[in-house]
Amino acid sequence: MIKIVDITEEELLPEIFGGKAAGLSILKKQGFLVPDGVAIEAVDSMAYFDQLFQNNLKMQLKRFETEEGYEVAVRSSCTMEDIKCVSGAGKYKTFLGQMSFSEIWKAIEELICGLVVPGTKMGIVIQRFIQAQNSGVIFTSDPFTYEKNKMLVSFSHGLGDKLVSGKLAGRDVTIRMKDQEVMILEGTESFPELKKLCMDTKQLECRLGYPLDIEWAADGERLYYLQCRPISTITSIPSGMLHVDMGNMEKISERINIQDRIDIWKQVLESSIEMPDTYIYIYNDSNHESVEMEWELAKSAHYKGYSAVVLYPNDIVGCHYLGDKTKVRGSISKCCRYGIRAFPQYGSLKECIRNYDTLLGKHSWIGVTMIQETVKPLYTGQIRKIQDGYLMEITYGNFVTKGIVPVNRYMIGLADDFLLKKEVEQTRWYELIEGHIVYCLCNEDSKARTMIPEETIVKIVQYFKPLLETRDWTIEFGIFQNEPENEYQPFFMDLAEQRKEGKLTLSRVSSGIISEGKIKGKIIHIEKEDISLLCENLDNEYEPMVFFAQRPDIALLPLVERCSSKDAAFVFCEGSVLCHLATVLREKRIPAIQIGYYHKGEYAEGKECVVNAQSEYITGRERISVT
């Protein structure tokens, strides 16, 4: 005979009584106030019910009987509803209020006969009807961003059936939980039970280990819990590793919210542009089963280690290089002296990723890490489409975006003609080998100048044109020199979109302008070790300053972030106009120029000078007037 059980007395399993009954059983077991009621075992046909069953059900429902009938709520409890992999929200009707037994029986029949998923069964929950003053749903974590300390509440005055079914727009409140305090981030309306609701349900989430979608009702005296299910938009995301290729693009897109990055990869792959082997690792903190993966990834012929970069949450900084220290020495260029400037923090890819899991799990249910092969290119560079054509910068080794090494600069016109060609000696560079950052100094004068044939520069422009024509962005690329043909092969590394940046033109770049503007200020010469002290001083009020530095090194970023276009300018000897720091200077409209090498005595510390990064018909030192 089909079972009818009291939902307050037994632990109800979803495969026997359905997801909703199981959720109510969890709430009751955890000490939450659940309206009195019964659960009917899940079936797929009304044929399982006979007169004896109906008589038994009438006996169970006597506690809800009134003069007008039964005051109850009849709800679905499908075996494929309110579980981790699927919510089933809104698929089945809820019946509320005064009903006769025949009306209750008709509601049961409608739910069972209305099964929409083949192979599933329908359980039934019948509970005491709550005359609510306020009711609604609460998400114990953000179902859209996966944040753990952010809760969403949607409520209405009175019954919440129309809100839950989507027929009525609720009053929405966004909550931030911090140190057991409830802070309203968005929404102006509230209700008396809000703090208790948030505190209690967040504690339940912590005990169960997964985010919850909970339906509730308050009658003015007590707070009742009507439903408890996992937030399936989070709990249904599988953990695992996916290789970035066209076959996996849809899978990656379905699982995680990194659409900008996915769009970039799609364009690269559709344009048949080469890129290092890349993997996406997804970690779901609500999935407590151990995720067994093959950590020995397939390696390409150019493999020299891995980089692991956190993509989501995007406010968590995580970037590490990994590799085998025993293979470093044999991979360093023979024509140079070298010193290792940084060592891998982790001994293996698995150790790094597991550490990321712990870090990300403190903030978010879902963490996404990009794992990419690091390679040893002969050159790296950046290219960007500008008003007059294409601006390209190239250097030996890696880290061209950091602004820490000399670069060759080329401007190629729209007709593939050379508008600018400035090649410099590159006696120092950095290589990334097996997770180690290696500083190299050239031993051979003949190797000091980067000599790339002009036809190769034009081919690089043609190679990346499909990407450059679609949006305003700067592409970072590498170049292999294939043996024995001695051919140059470019490949995609990364890109950055330019948003609020000032315009770059041939005349501005060739005349030394990095970022436009004009300012008068006191001369300050910067060494790397001075940056922290300068930042502390800038936190207080100060007069306008002109900072002189060797190159637009990324180490200057904390200083630049404290400056504005009204109180600072930067003067560099050399360096990139496409590097990250140069881009930030343009975004902030801070005047910046390159003037070539100089002696500090020419621009004495403490004196005032005017930096003119506006006029196009002066160059180099003509842009500085010492007063």
Give the tens place of pLDDT for each residue, 356-406: 999 999 999 999 999 999 998 989 999 999 888 999 999 988 888 999 988
pLDDT in tens, 401-455: 999 988 999 999 999 999 999 988 888 888 899 999 988 887 766 556 667 889 9
535/192: higher pLDDT? 192
Nearest to residue 531, comparing CAs of 492, 511, 497, 559? 559
User: Is residue 554 located within the same domain as residue 578?
Assistant: yes
pLDDT in tens, 373-386: 999 898 999 999 98
Q: Using pLDDT thresholds of 50, 70 and 90, give the confidence band for residue 564.
A: very high
Residue 46 to residue 107: CA distance in whole angstroms:
12
User: Is residue 513 located within the same domain as residue 446?
Assistant: no
pLDDT of residue 536: 73
Domain end marker among 210, 234, 258: 234
pLDDT of residue 220: 86
pLDDT of residue 539: 62
**What residues make up the domain containing 595?**
506-626
Which pTM was predicted?
0.85
Nearest to residue 228, comparing CAs of 207, 201, 206, 194? 201
User: Is residue 165 located within the same domain as residue 250?
Assistant: no
Q: Which two tokens stand for residue 583?
A: 């881009």
Residue 425 to residue 272: CA distance in whole angstroms:
33
Burial 152-185 (b: 16+ CB within 10 A, else e): bbbbbeebbbebbeeeeebbebebebeeeebeee
Q: Using pLDDT thresholds of 50, 70 and 90, give the confidence band for residue 471.
A: confident
User: Is residue 197 located within the same domain as residue 247?
Assistant: no
User: Is residue 193 located within the same domain as residue 247?
Assistant: no
User: Is residue 85 located within the same domain as residue 142?
Assistant: no
User: Is residue 106 located within the same domain as residue 173?
Assistant: no
pLDDT of residue 531: 80
pLDDT in tens, 134-146: 889 999 999 999 9
Give how far Cα 145 sits from Cα of 13, 162, 313, 581, Å: 30, 26, 8, 30
If residue 625 lies in a helix (H) or strand (E), which one and from where to where? Answer: strand 624-626
Burial 592-605 (b: 16+ CB within 10 A, else e): bbbbeeeeeeebee
User: Would residue 82 be called left, alpha or beta, if left means φ above 0 and alpha means ψ between -120 and 50 degrees?
Assistant: left
Could you give the percent of the chain with pLDDT greater than 90? 56
- Give me the sign of the Cα torsion angle 549, 551, 554, 560: positive
Strand order in the sheet with 389-396: 418-422, 408-413, 389-396, 379-386, 473-482, 487-497
Using the predicted structure, report yes or no on whether residue 290 has a pLDDT greater than 60. Answer: no
166/228: higher pLDDT? 228
Q: Using pLDDT thresholds of 50, 70 and 90, give the confidence band for residue 132.
A: confident
pLDDT of residue 577: 94
pLDDT of residue 607: 94
pLDDT of residue 181: 82
pLDDT of residue 486: 75
CA angle 449, 455, 461 (to 5 degrees): 95
Q: For 96, what's the count of Cα atoms within 13 Å in the CB-facing half-sphere? A: 13
Q: For 290, what's the count of Cα atoms within 13 Å in the CB-facing half-sphere? A: 3
pLDDT of residue 489: 93
Q: Which residue has the tokens 């290792």?
A: 340
pLDDT in tens, 40-81: 999 999 999 999 999 999 999 999 988 889 999 999 999 888
Nearest to residue 288, comparing CAs of 344, 355, 235, 367? 235
Phi, psi angle pair for 598, to nearest 5° = -150, 165
Q: Decide: helix, strand or coil at residue 606.
A: coil
Pinpoint the alpha helices (H) of 480-579: 506-510, 531-538, 557-561
Q: Which residue has the tokens 């849809």?
A: 250
The total number of structural domains that make up the chain: 5
Q: Which residues are CB-contacts of 356 (< 8 A; sequence separation ≥ 6)?
A: 283, 308, 310, 318, 367, 369
How many residues comprise the chain?
627
pLDDT in tens, 269-283: 999 999 999 999 999
Residue 32 to residue 598: CA distance in whole angstroms:
74
Using the predicted structure, report yes or no on whether residue 550 has a pLDDT greater than 80. Answer: yes
Q: Which residues are CB-contacts of 1 (< 8 A; sequence separation ≥ 6)?
A: 52, 53, 56
pLDDT of residue 315: 81
pLDDT of residue 84: 76
User: E strands, 400-544, where?
Assistant: 408-413, 418-422, 428-433, 436-442, 473-482, 487-497, 513-515, 517-525
User: Is residue 227 located within the same domain as residue 191?
Assistant: yes
Q: How many helices (H) and strands (E) does the chain have?
A: 15, 33
Residue 197 to residue 191: CA distance in whole angstroms:
10
Domain CATH for 20 = 3.30.1490.20
User: Is residue 478 located within the same domain as residue 543?
Assistant: no
User: Is residue 13 located within the same domain as residue 117?
Assistant: yes
Domain end marker among 184, 207, 234: 234
Q: Using pLDDT thresholds of 50, 70 and 90, give the confidence band for residue 335.
A: low
Helix 51-61 and helix 101-113, axial crossing angle in degrees, nearest 10: 120
Domain end marker among 184, 201, 234: 234
pLDDT of residue 330: 73
User: Is residue 79 located within the same domain as residue 122?
Assistant: yes
User: Is residue 66 located within the same domain as residue 141?
Assistant: no
User: Would residue 275 be called left, alpha or beta, if left means φ above 0 and alpha means ψ between -120 and 50 degrees?
Assistant: beta
* 355 exposure class (CB count in 10 Å sphere: 0-12, 13-18, 19+): middle
